[in-house]
Chain A
Amino acid sequence: MYSKKLMDHFTNPRNVGEIPDADGVGMEGNPTCGDTMKLFIKVHDDRIVDAKFQTFGCGAAIAVSSMITEMAKGKTLSEALTITKESVADALDGLPPQKMHCSNLGADALRKAIEDYRGRLAGAPAAG
């Protein structure tokens, strides 16, 4: 059901944990299946220098979370915003169709983390 690459990211997830002094935090969940992802980013000179995650969810949800942190690290914010659900799924050599919607929360959580960071810069109350 899952690709080898996905299983690798599920079994050995990269960047698990919290960043206590994160510059942006994004939380995304699917109320039907319960999958929830919390993504923390550290930003320096408009570039994501670190990313960590905490995820409640199935194997696909955890692998997606691991993959998105790997993809986001080192990218500028505008580059990071071009990451889509499809590109995350492709990077994992595909997701089963029924998991495409419910467990593919990474791109949305990243977008929210970036919005949170930008909101904080603008002095707005932190969201997420």
Chain B
Amino acid sequence: MRYFDHVATNPLLPEVLDAMMPYFKEQFGNPLSPYDLGIAAKTAIEDARAQVAALVNAKAGEIVFTSSGAEANNFALKGIALAKQQSGNHIITSKAEHHSIMNTARSLEKLGFVVTYIPVDKYGLVDPKDVEKAIIKDTTVISIIHASSEVGTIEPIKEIAALAKAHNVTLHVDSVAAVGAIPVDVAALGVDLMSMTAHQFYGPKGAGALYIRGGQRILPLIYGGIQENGRRAGTENVPAIVGMGKAAALAKRDLAIRTQHVTRLRDRLIDVIGKVESVHLTGHPHNRLPGHASFVVEYIEGEGMLLMLQAKDIVAASGSACTSKALKASPVLISMGIPSSMAHGSLVFSMGIGNTEEDVEAINEELPKIIRRLREISPFGKSGWGKSEPEATH
């Protein structure tokens, strides 16, 4: 199988699984237990914490393990909004966020918080000036996605962090798609909180982390015992955390090689597919994730393309309505001003270290044929999209 859906998840590296195995078996202790078995588990978690911290240039004490990137996002936004509720009830985020920020923001609106959703430009970029304009006296937290898994665009986090600091507002970044894919340095960026997840850098599912700058006050999402310094209760998922640590160490060691490899594959794919008639690259042409190539294909729909690609042993993703359980076109694409008719033809190829040039050539050969075939079936495109725009009833 030619796997091009690394934004969905990555395969586990064998070295990572090896590091995890003892904690599924003989090292099964509870990290809170005072005897050797517990201490070994506790030590393993603290080692992993140092490894994850090193990947983003944080201090170990600033990393809190969670069960996922989504939990880290929920924890950050709710935890800061609630902790700073006495100073204000205004939150700023963007229209290009992942569901785990978007829906958390909506849930906070129901609790009485006021949320401003900053628009993005046609590349999916947030303009820091818009963020600054949105800041009011009551603003307590800004949450911006670091890099979009849907369109690959990398946001100007450093600029946003500088103005958040100037206005004394806490900044959270959702770096789930960025950490492990590009160099990320919390100190250089100047962010206060940052979400990440292990399975985006060849670690296991079930482990995520939130970087919380030292001294930053936050309310827990999960109350209970004193795990994670009282910031996240629940017996730790020791094997997954150990796996995240190992994966972080390998990501730090190999980042440059990995980036170079997937960038070459991405550029080759964009070079060929981007030239197919009525196919448009989505997201920023240069300032994008190294292994990320996303398109909208006019006149046809994404799910059909995915099914035909799969018949050729190629797997990819789409933000089309038909592929989503909600049956709605991707809000991120819509926020970029892409008409919903076109957003239905969304395709996302995300590359990983296991992909080869041969894999990319397979897409470059098969996809144009698939597009041609589906356009033959489509009622649109022959005389221009506008003219055949569906006069849908219902």
Contacts and interface: CB of A to CB of B under 8 A. Distances in A.
Interface string A48-60: 0000001111111
A56 B307 contact: no
Contact of B392 (A7, A31, A62): A31
A102 interface: yes
Given A11-B311, A98-B327, A57 B393 contact: no
A1 to B, nearest CB: 10
Nearest to B377: A16
B391 interface: yes
A38 interface: yes
Interface in B352-394: 376-380, 390-394
Given A34-B390, A56-B390, A103 B379 contact: no
Interface residues of A, number: 31
A117 to B, nearest CB: 18
- The CB with the most chain B CB atoms within 10 A, among A55, A57, A58, is that of A58
Contacts of A32: 321, 327-328
A36 interface: yes
Contact of B377 (A28, A29, A33, A54): A54
Interface in B164-207: none
Contacts of A31: 390, 392, 394
A36 B322 contact: no
Interface string A1-25: 0100001001101001000000000
A55 B377 CA distance: 6
A7 B327 CA distance: 20
A115 B392 CA distance: 17
- The CB with the most chain A CB atoms within 10 A, among B303, B344, B376, is that of B303
A89 interface: no
A87 interface: no
B380 A56 contact: yes
Nearest to A128: B391
B100 interface: no
A35 interface: yes
A10 B307 contact: yes
B81 interface: no
Contact of B379 (A2, A30, A38, A59): A38
A113 B327 CA distance: 27
A56 B321 contact: no
A92 interface: no
A115 B387 CA distance: 23
A111 B363 CA distance: 40
B87 to A, nearest CB: 41
Given A33-B321, A34-B329, A54-B379, A59 B392 contact: no
A33 B322 contact: yes
Interface string A86-109: 000000000000110011000000
B5 to A, nearest CB: 16
B335 interface: no
A32 B302 CA distance: 15
B237 interface: no
A28 B394 CA distance: 9
A27 interface: yes
Contacts of A98: 325, 327
Given A57-B322, A62-B377, A33 B311 contact: no
- The CB with the most chain A CB atoms within 10 A, among B323, B376, B379, is that of B379
A26 B304 CA distance: 22
B39 to A, nearest CB: 47
17 contacts: A11-B311, A27-B390, A27-B391, A28-B393, A29-B391, A29-B394, A33-B322, A35-B322, A36-B392, A55-B379, A56-B300, A56-B390, A61-B301, A62-B304, A98-B327, A99-B322, A102-B321
Given A31-B394, A34-B390, 5 more contacts: A32-B321, A33-B321, A35-B301, A55-B377, A57-B301
By Cβ-Cβ distance, the 7 closest A-B pairs, closest first, are A29-B392, A58-B322, A54-B379, A58-B303, A36-B390, A29-B390, A33-B321
